[in-house]
Amino acid sequence: MISRDEDIVIIGGGPVGLYIAGRLLQLGYSCKVLEKNKSINPHSRSLGIHPISLELFEKAGIAQKFIDEGVKIRRGYAFWNRNRMGEISFEKTPKPFNYILALPQSRTERILQEWVLGLNSEAILRGAEVKSMQNGEESVAVRYEMDGVHASVNSRHMIGCDGINSFVRMDLGIPFDGKQYPDTYIMGDFLDNTDFGEDAAVYLHEEGLIESFPLPGGMRRWVVKTDRRMENPDAEQLGKLIHDRLGHSLNTMDNVMMSSFGVQHFLARQMTKGNVLLAGDAAHVVSPIGGQGMNLGWLDAEAAVQTIVQSLKNPANQSGLFLLYSKKQRRVAKKAAKRAELNMWLGRKESSNLPVKWALSMILNTPLSGLLAKMFTMRGL
Ligand SMILES: Cc1cc2nc3c(=O)[nH]c(=O)nc-3n(C[C@H](O)[C@H](O)[C@H](O)COP(=O)(O)OP(=O)(O)OC[C@H]3O[C@@H](n4cnc5c(N)ncnc54)[C@H](O)[C@@H]3O)c2cc1C
């Protein structure tokens, strides 16, 4: 059995775990990321990097890497069925990041991984699946399996960033409270054949929501609300729904990604136990409509780094610092979940009525639209 020692061990090398590793290495701490997948998940999930995250990246000195690869969404058009109701501009939100950056999650993870490996080429162990852990008085022992070999690593602290089905959260016995929503969607990436350019478009349609976002490389993502979960949807099915609702024809030959997803909301009853913190989807899951989950995870990530640094400097304050982290980040997650619920509610058939249309038109066409711009850029959480 191979055994190592680190200041901090991070379980899960998704966007949250990788960001934490980079920050801890920058601050001079030793850390190891244990990630069960051998390579970055190519499946496209998140596309939106919000200004609050770009501000964190700027402080870490890595914002430009993302900006160089992404598309800056400065404006979104809102439609009622096929009719344009108004627009939300992010131009007046705080500069310099007065836009949402569109970049597929796999590319985001690649940039973060390269950053971490540039700081320490041995910081990430890919193909290492955590099998057990012991949360002791003053350290955490983790056992993992890699290429059929069992190994262990001991550390002062551990951060569980292992996603929605978190092994860490379950092993600690922390309840995950929440529910599955009835809403279902399909999404696909196509060559962009609209006139929207770098702008987003959201259609509140009586047959169900349609969202359309620019992607790098002249591509565009379409997200379509469906009446029921469609397993393995194909480009023709998505193209037909868009044509029926909007009259817009996609060239289905230009499709590069298709998937379907349901939505849920879960929150860990606590985000700490002993020497362990939880961060990202391991601690909370919000509906992807509104695109907040990964960004919420990075807010945890920076707070977790600061908490651990403070705690290593003042070990006597550890439990207070950890509890404060849990309380604050749970509060932020609850707020984000409420916003995501509002976004979803707007996209439902039941919300497709005249009073809602009237209220939205008024907001979009008055200075109140600035409030929506703040909400959609995750300000004020
Ligand atoms: C369709 C869709 C669209 C989305 N769009 C957006 C968006 O636009 N904006 C946004 O902010 N968010 C979005 N999200 C949410 C976003 O994808 C997640 O919030 C984000 O991936 C969470 O990052 P994470 O690092 O916490 O967890 P994950 O990305 O789930 O990473 C967890 C990692 O832990 C590893 N792991 C798990 N168990 C173990 C183990 N036992 N040992 C070792 N490794 C382990 C996994 O292999 C994985 O790599 C979307 C989600 C979906 C489904």
Query: Of all atoms in ligand 1, which is nearest to the CA of residue 129?
Result: 42
Q: Is the CB of 47 under 6 A from ligand 1?
A: yes
The rounded Å distance from CA 141 to ligand 1 centre is: 24
Partners of 184 in the beta sheet?
226, 262
The rounded Å distance from CA 100 to ligand 1 centre is: 19
Alpha helices (H) along the chain:
15-26, 51-60, 63-69, 105-119, 167-171, 235-246, 293-313, 318-346, 354-364, 369-376
Query: Of all atoms in ligand 1, which is nearest to the CA of residue 131?
Result: 41
CATH class of residue range 180-263+349-376:
alpha beta
- What is the distance between the alpha carbons of residues 364 and 372, in angstroms, rounded to a whole number? 8
Q: Return phi, psi of residue 289, to 5°.
A: -70, 115
Domain limits, the chain: 2-71+97-178+265-346, 180-263+349-376
Q: Which CATH number fits the domain 2-71+97-178+265-346, given the four candidates 3.30.450.40, 1.10.10.10, 2.60.40.1150, 3.50.50.60?
A: 3.50.50.60
Q: Is the CB of 70 under 6 A from ligand 1?
A: no
Give per-residue pLDDT as tens, 210-261.
999 999 999 999 999 999 999 999 999 999 999 999 999 999 999 999 999 9
Give per-residue pLDDT as tens, 310-338.
999 999 999 999 999 999 999 999 999 99
The rounded Å distance from CA 13 to ligand 1 centre is: 9
Which pLDDT does position 3 carry in this prediction?
Answer: 63
| pTM metric for this prediction | 0.96
Ligand 1 mutation target, pool 294, 295, 329, most atoms within 8 A of CB = 294
On whether the CB atoms of residues 212 and 197 are closer than 8 A, the answer is no
Q: Is the CB of 17 under 6 A from ligand 1?
A: yes
Ligand 1 mutation target, pool 36, 116, 166, 171, most atoms within 8 A of CB = 36
Which of 63, 56, 21, 85 has its CA nearest to residue 352? 85
Confidence of residue 22 (pLDDT cuts 50, 70, 90): very high
- What is the distance between the alpha carbons of residues 368 and 137, in angstroms, rounded to a whole number? 52
The rounded Å distance from CA 294 to ligand 1 centre is: 7
Give per-residue pLDDT as tens, 239-248.
999 999 999 9
- What is the distance between the alpha carbons of residues 186 and 225, in angstroms, rounded to a whole number? 7
Please give the average per-residue pLDDT across 76-86, as a whole number. Answer: 94
The rounded Å distance from CA 329 to ligand 1 centre is: 17
Ligand 1 mutation target, pool 37, 105, 106, most atoms within 8 A of CB = 105
Segment among 165-169, 180-184, 277-281 with least mean pLDDT: 180-184
Q: Is the CB of 160 under 6 A from ligand 1?
A: no
